[in-house]
Structure 1
Amino acid sequence: MTRELLKGNEAIAEAAVRAGLDAYFGYPITPQTELLEYLARRMPELGRAFVQAESEVAAINMVYGAACTGKRVMTSSSGPGISLMQEGLSYLAGAELPAVVVDVMRGGPGLGNIAACQSDYFQVTRSAGHGDFRPLTLAPATIQEAIDLTGLAFDLAERYRMLVILLVDGNLGQMMEPAELPPFRQREPSLPEWALGGAEGRPPRIITSIYLQPEALERHNLALQAKLAAIAEREQRSSGMYLEDADLIVVAFGSAARVAQNAVEAARARGMAVGLFRPITLSPFPSRRLARLAPRARAFLVVEMNAGQMIEDVRLAVGERAPVRFYGRMGGVEMLPDEVVQAIEQTMHDTRVTKNGARRLDVEVRS
């Protein structure tokens, strides 16, 4: 295998094809439309199903129907389209159906703009629909990682029979980088035992998310919560750099983590003991590893392309053991490494005397 120059949206689409994607249903919206356009050509070439639905509502319900057959299914959209899918996403979760959803984030709220942003964090980690559940959410920072996590998304969806969201932003969807695509997977033709495919010669199977008796629905919810607890125990993923001696730890995901990495490198060159912690699973959030770092760090700086959403999960993990500060840009405004370096310097200055027994300070740091 060789590395080639790949565009983010198209790389994710081809990675899904090679991971065994059987059916795709979607509706065009910038900045993810290239993903849909790529699959509109690629899926029929391989004799697989592609449908451009009349809306995002239709697309997610087509995903629901196809997922009932045990096939590998996917849709993709951006913030406004994901909002329209919320009911269907909840139905998928309630029926315990495996499916992959790609969210290529744009600026909001409302129609906003088509610039890169990270303001869908709450939407894809807190619920992605009504009811007591959370999806499993993966956040790559490079095109190579987006390729790798696309394959993992399908594996996790099938392993746990649940919704998995691949969360990228417009920068990653539109940019081009050298990356390596995996070979085509050879998959077993047999369907899982729960799937619908005709009841001849076996008892009928029922897939549903409706439980009219409260006691029955409570039992179902308890089972779902047990599954989420198992996922939180097994599937927390993160990466880091310069964490061993860091007085200040910058926490960022996706494209913001790329900017933060450059800022951390620049700060280290100036003699500052700064590290970078990058969550890869946003749900479940990698709180165990972050909590272990909290007693050793003087402070944490959360860097996001939004008004501060992931910061809530960082605060829950860190607790009262260190101050947690925030730096962010909104509306698709691109942040620069120099801005983050300034926020690092300000945070280190403000927290220099709070190493031991630090109280949390919630003052925002902005340029």
Structure 2
Amino acid sequence: MSDKVLMKGAEALAEGAIQAGCRYYFGYPITPQNETPEYMSRRLPEVGGRFVQAESEVASINMVYGAACAGVRVMTSSSSPGISLMQEGISYISGSNVPCVVMNAMRGGPGLGNIAPAQADYFQAVKGGGNGDYKRIVFAPSSIQEGVDLFVDAFELADKYRMVVMVIVDGLIGQMMEPVEFKTRIDVSTLKTPEWATVGRHGRDHANIITSLTLDAAGLEQWNLKLQAKYAQVELTESRIEEYQMDDADYAIIAYGTMARIAKTTIRIARAKGIKLGLLRPITVWPFPAKQIQTYVGKLKGTLTVELAYRQLFEDVQLALCGKIPLGWYGRGGGVVPGPQEILAAFEEQFGKGR
């Protein structure tokens, strides 16, 4: 596909994964991302791939684990409580040092909550969620097109670092429709089976064994140190941020995903009123672009974190800035999405007229 086509987010992201070389998908239905497995069930057989609807999210992630150990490009997707059920498997995959991609179309919570868009899974995504000391790269696209593009990076980085990469969108991005272009198509015939994969001997004098179980404490510590060194390299090289109207900004909104899109309208309204407001949008929420945000210390009079959650993104902003810039916060929960004027009113309430 080369021309732009109008697609629903959940379907376009699925096609983006296929164009990125994904040929195996294991999942279980849950709103608001049901169109992703439905689309995969039709498209994967057309490109020589395999789709399996598992009996649960727990089964899905363990099937992903098995395929990842075989060295193929594999993914699953779910929404909030479904991702919660996958946390043990994600920890196993991380502990086993194998690559995969997971997509979360976040919905309102906690608990079963509702199917409206939210960002309250931020902690779950960036702080781990499962047991043990592990990290995963987390992309947070703010449009369907960016999500499609980032799926290529997601699979490439998963393979490069042999780790879990998560793509988080809220339900709004999953359900809206936008024109998208599939710019990159990975030729799967060029993807080589890695040396570490569990695919039998194939002429080797040994068979690979992959496990996350290490009973020796000293041995497990050494394994953890290797993982931490890898994560440190990811933090050093893979953080990404968008800077919008920041050249002359006195204040900045910090937001990601859908909230960043809405915040851009807030900024245009604010600038029409003479308020020099800009946007810092994390594209990776792990690794968090702390250093890029820190470059504005001494330049900004204040920042306003805006999110569809209660002070989750705010905590990472707070840690990054260490009180060196006045911090404000505004959020809505339960699937309520604020409009641009509402965000501007929150800014003016906390920072005056921004002059």
Alignment TM class, shorter chain as reference? over 0.9
Report what 1:46 is aligned to.
47
Question: Do the aligned partners of 1:249 and 1:277 also contact (CA within 8 Å) in 2?
Answer: yes
Q: SS of the residue aligned with 2:104?
A: strand
Once the two structures are superposed, what CA deviation does each residue of 1:259-310 show, in whole Å capped at 9, x if it has no partner? 1111011101110011100000000000010011122101110000011200
- Is residue 2:75 matched to residue 1:83? no
**What residue is the counterpart of 1:127 in the other structure?**
128
Q: Give the superposition deviation at 1:222.
A: 0.5
Residue 6 of structure 1 and its aligned partner are, at CA, apart by 1.4
The answer to whether the 8 Å contact 1:119/1:305 transfers is yes
Looking at structure 2, the residues matched to 11 and 341 of structure 1 have their Cα atoms a distance apart, in angstroms, of 32
Matched residue, 1:192: 194
Q: How does 1:91-170 map to 2 (within 5 A)?
A: 91-170=92-171
Deviations along 1:161-209, whole A, 9 cap, x unmatched? 0000000010000000111113532132530111111114212211111
Q: Which amino acid aligns with 1:199?
A: R
Report matched runs for 1:35-74 at 5 Å: 35-74=36-75
Q: Aligned letter for 2:271?
A: R
SS at match of 2:6: strand
Q: Aligned-residue CA RMSD in angstroms?
A: 1.2
CA offsets per residue over residues 225-277 of structure 1, 9 Å max, x none? 10010000000100011212211110000001111111011101110011100
Is it true that 1:274 corresponds to 2:277 in the alignment? yes
Aligned residues: 352
1:6 aligns with: 7
Partner Cα distance (1:204, 1:178) in 2: 47
Whether the 8 Å CA contact 1:248–1:348 is kept in 2: the answer is no
Q: Deviations over 1:294-336 (max 9, x none)?
A: 2210111000001120001101111121111100111001211
Q: What are the within-5 Å matches in structure 2 for residues 324-339 of structure 1?
A: 324-339=327-342
Q: Which residue of 1 aligns with 2:345?
A: 342
1:283: which partner in 2?
286
Quote the offset at 1:350 in angstroms: 8.7
Where do 5+ consecutive residues of structure 2 fail to align? none
- Assess if the C-alpha contact under 8 Å between 1:128 and 1:134 holds in 2: no
Q: Which amino acid aligns with 1:69?
A: A
What is the percent sequence identity of the aligned residues? 50
Segments of structure 1 that go 5 or more residues without pairing to the other structure are 353-367
Contact 1:90-1:129 at 8 Å conserved across structures: yes
Q: Deviations over 1:318-366 (max 9, x none)?
A: 11211111001110012110001111222322987xxxxxxxxxxxxxx
Which amino acid letter does the alignment assign opposite residue 319 of structure 2?
Answer: L
Indicate the SS of the match to 1:133.
coil
C-alpha distance in 2, partners of 1:351/1:342? 11
3-state SS in 1 of match to 2:138: strand
Q: Is the deviation greater in 241-250 or in 63-72?
A: 241-250
Contact in 1 for aligned 2:139/2:166 (Cα 8 Å): yes
Offset, 1:47: 2.2
Q: CA deviation at 1:65?
A: 0.3
Tell me, in whole angstroms, the C-alpha distance in 2 between the residues paired with 1:332 and 1:183: 33
1:317 corresponds to which residue?
A: 320
Q: Which runs of 4+ in 1 moved over 4 A?
A: none
The one-letter code matched in structure 1 to 2:348 is E
Q: Deviations over 1:120-150 (max 9, x none)?
A: 0000100131111111000000111010011
Distance in 2, Cα, partners of 1:270 & 1:327:
20
* Contact 2:126–2:136 (Cα < 8 Å) also in 1: yes
Secondary structure at the counterpart of residue 76 of structure 2: strand
Q: Which residue of 2 aligns with 1:224?
A: 227
Residues 53-112 of structure 1 show CA distances to partners (whole Å, capped at 9, x for unaligned) of: 000000000000000010000000000000000100000000011000000000000000
Equivalent in the alignment of 1:365: none
Secondary structure at the residue paired with 2:297? helix
SS of aligned partner of 1:165: strand
| Greater mean deviation of Cα atoms: 82-91 or 173-182 | 173-182
The 3 A distance-change label for structure 1 pair 324 and 351 is farther
| Structure-2 residue corresponding to 1:360 | none
Q: For residue 85 of structure 1, what is the amino acid of its counterpart? A: M
Task: Identify which range, 256-265 or 54-63, moves more after superposition.
Answer: 256-265
Cα distance between partner residues in 1 of 2:85 and 2:353:
43
Residue equivalent to 1:263: 266
Is the CA contact 2:275–2:353 (under 8 Å) kept in the aligned structure 1?
Answer: no
Secondary structure of the 1:265 match is helix
CA contact under 8 A between 2:348 and 2:354: conserved in structure 1?
Answer: no
- Compared CA separation, residues 46 and 344, structure 1 to 2 (3 A): same
